Amino acid sequence: MDNDSPNIEFKRFISREYYSKDLALEYLSKSSANVSEAMQLVFEGKHPDAWRSAYMLAFYFNSQPKLVKPYIHDIIDYVIIAKPDGLQRELLRMIMFAGFNEDYAGKVVDLCFSLWEQVKKQASVRMIALKLLVQYSDYYPELKPELLVITEHDGFQNKHGAKHSKDLIRNKLIRDCKKLKLNINY
């Protein structure tokens, strides 16, 4: 291996030949420079390294949510142009793990509405976008009735898991709207 290559260490852990989730997570936990190295791979956008790196980072940030914060604005900006859909899904998961922040709430809500409306997107991308919208609706309750409207017709065809998850989310939204006495017609 060429040790002068950028990102060589983390790339080794996510390559098919050497893949080890445990080693990759251990590597990320050693220093913030290692997390930066993995994020650089994500933003380079080269498939499959970007997706694999994002997958590992999302898994890592789930247990270390504060560590995603330095990257959150770049992640939000990158989601809409990221390819393939699997990379978008992992970036959305990172945003979800970062939690609510009013500074970027409008951008996240707009992004998620845009992704939800793209019925040809992978169901998993749309569902994570919907979950983020629901997360944000806890801070902006006026979104809840709107989310009920947009999820009435979801565009899922033969995707029973996504449809079931969406129905569970709708039921939660209906309960929330009734509890908050928001005007809904259900």
pLDDT digits (tens, 9 = 90+) for 168-181: 999 999 999 999 99
Whether the CB-CB separation of 44 and 73 falls below 8 Å is answered with: no
Place of tokens 């989601």: 79
Based on the domain organization, do 50 and 132 belong to the same domain? no
- CA–CA separation, 53 vs 112, rounded Å? 22
Q: Which of 99, 127, 145 is the last residue of a domain?
A: 99
- CA–CA separation, 114 vs 116, rounded Å? 6
pLDDT category at 6 given cuts 50, 70, 90 is very low
How many domains does the structure of the chain reveal?
Answer: 2
Phi, psi of 122 (to 5 degrees): -55, 140
Based on the domain organization, do 84 and 120 belong to the same domain? no
- CA–CA separation, 35 vs 52, rounded Å? 13
Domain that residue 171 falls in: 116-186
In a domain, 37, yes or no: yes
Note the residue count of the chain. 186
| pTM for this model (two decimals) | 0.89
Based on the domain organization, do 16 and 94 belong to the same domain? yes
Whether the CB-CB separation of 13 and 19 falls below 8 Å is answered with: yes
In a domain, 175, yes or no: yes
pLDDT of residue 7: 53
- CA–CA separation, 178 vs 33, rounded Å? 47
Whether the CB-CB separation of 79 and 92 falls below 8 Å is answered with: yes
Q: What is the mean pLDDT of residues 116-132?
A: 95
Identify which of 124, 121, 47, 66 has the alpha carbon closest to the alpha carbon of residue 90: 124
pLDDT of residue 78: 98
Based on the domain organization, do 93 and 168 belong to the same domain? no
Express each pLDDT in 52-108 by its tens digit.
999 999 999 999 999 999 999 999 999 999 999 999 999 999 999 999 999 999 999
Report the amino acid identity of residue 72: I
In a domain, 1, yes or no: no
